[in-house]
Structure 1
Amino acid sequence: MDHRAVPIKVGVVGYGHLGRFLVDRIQRDGPGVGLSLAFVWNRNTDKLTDSVPDDQILTDLAEFTDRNADVIVEVCHPHIVKEFGIQFLAHANFLVGSPSALANPQLDQALRLTAKQHGKTLYVPSGALWGGQDIQRMNDSGSLRALSIRMSKHPSCFRLGEGLLSDWSEVEGRRVLFHGSVADLCPIAPNNVNTMAAAAIAASALGFHGVAGEIVSDTALADYHLVEIEVTGLDGFSVKTQRRNPAELGAVTGRATYRSFWSSLLVCKGHGGRVYLC
């Protein structure tokens, strides 16, 4: 618990399921953990009516500097990271909920440079990634040799581009939709592979091109998402994990990820001008 007299002011960008969850938690539990709401922005401001006080609604995102947020949380789309990420980091710590945007090497480097120049932290939430800190420690010690991630979901839970899942039926069963580098996967499934993006950031020596990703459509997965990770190190070392994340049909984000994201937000109190997995 943070007992500071002045709470950390949080700006929330996006008001989908995850954004609403975070805003509700800040409004309800924020005073007890040292957080307050600086602003909420959503492309459709009508969704904020009756849920967010008028004085906390930001209608023009370009005016975010007027609200003096200490940390800005993006939970909407990689396009916002591309358009505003550098500006956010020039004024506040930035929790990027769409780390798939960092698969763009130019944007990744620009964000890292801005964080360093302004002494702000670019926070990357672990989300559904299990063992992210362990992967990062192996990466930093030079012992990480390979990393692969498979994410399996009911087809209704995918938001994909380029016809990867243009049609499906309840009797179809299991289908591998993509297998390749996370760098190639992020642009065509930006809303579904943020867990993989977080892993690629943790495994910076391998990077987005060196981490293997696979997404699987499985009509049997009506109650949860399945995340399988295989880590390979030196001298035959390897770890395999399997994580079941309870989720409703059609849900892009599993329920456990909401709680994980809240825990990540509580960490965002400034770690200097760098990237920080939380």
Structure 2
Amino acid sequence: MIATPAEPLVLPAPAKLNRMLHIIGRRPDGYHELQTLFQFLDHGDTLHVRRRQDGDIRLTPALAGVAEEENLVLRAARLLQAESRCRLGADIHLEKRLPLGGGLGGGSSDAATALLGLDALWGVGLSLDRLAELGLRLGADVPVFVRGHAAWGEGVGERLTPVELDTPWFVVVHPGVAVSTPAVFGAGELTRHTPPITIARALQGGASGWRNDCEATVRALYPPVADVLDWLSTRAPAMLTGTGACVFARLASEADADRLLAEIAGRWQAFKARGLNRSPLHDVLGR
């Protein structure tokens, strides 16, 4: 899918949930070995990307609290430009809906959308494998968004095996605090030695048996997250995603999600979304 100079590509950058997250060890480099199940949501950010002929890459608007050199969209665009030796540039406008530091993968998804979108816009034609390699240089969660399928993740989350998960409705709640991922992974009380399991065992157990090993630590460090988890768990099965701060509840129907949202109104920021096994970005790009 190639945009014309007058018509930008309009590309989704979907949120993700960690339907389960186990920490099975700590590596010598300080990173943690994980086992997790990634699933996309039909809710997220949107990138509007227009080709430039002069090689400049411009992003609007600036993100509050994020320096330009740390912005994953700009870093992704410049990395692809350098690796492909492409002389084209781009104007990128980011519609930001996902909270920063929410555990929904917003920045990683934005970066993946920039990589795939600019690969198409500039006619670079890199494989998904190569784009995923570039994505991993930007962050551990970027490859799953590049590959675009619900997945079992191992390592730091970059070793991916496609899976098919149930696709219920979710209500996702933001407790109104920012969670520091380094603080969570650096906490002494964090569970780090959950026994490894196989994909088959994880899927056989089903959602009722899934958990997030970060949840107890985040509860202790961030009481507002604990408040949301306690309240939400009385209404539906609820869990932390990633290292938080967002918490999600699994619902049987959209009507149930709407009723829960009505209860939440005025307490916290929240949205409803459907679980997806295929990223809507890949549908738009025809990948």
TM-score normalised by structure 1 residue count: 0.29
TM-score normalised by structure 2 residue count: 0.29
Higher relative contact order (CA 8 A, sep 6+): 2
Higher normalized helix content (fraction of residues): 1
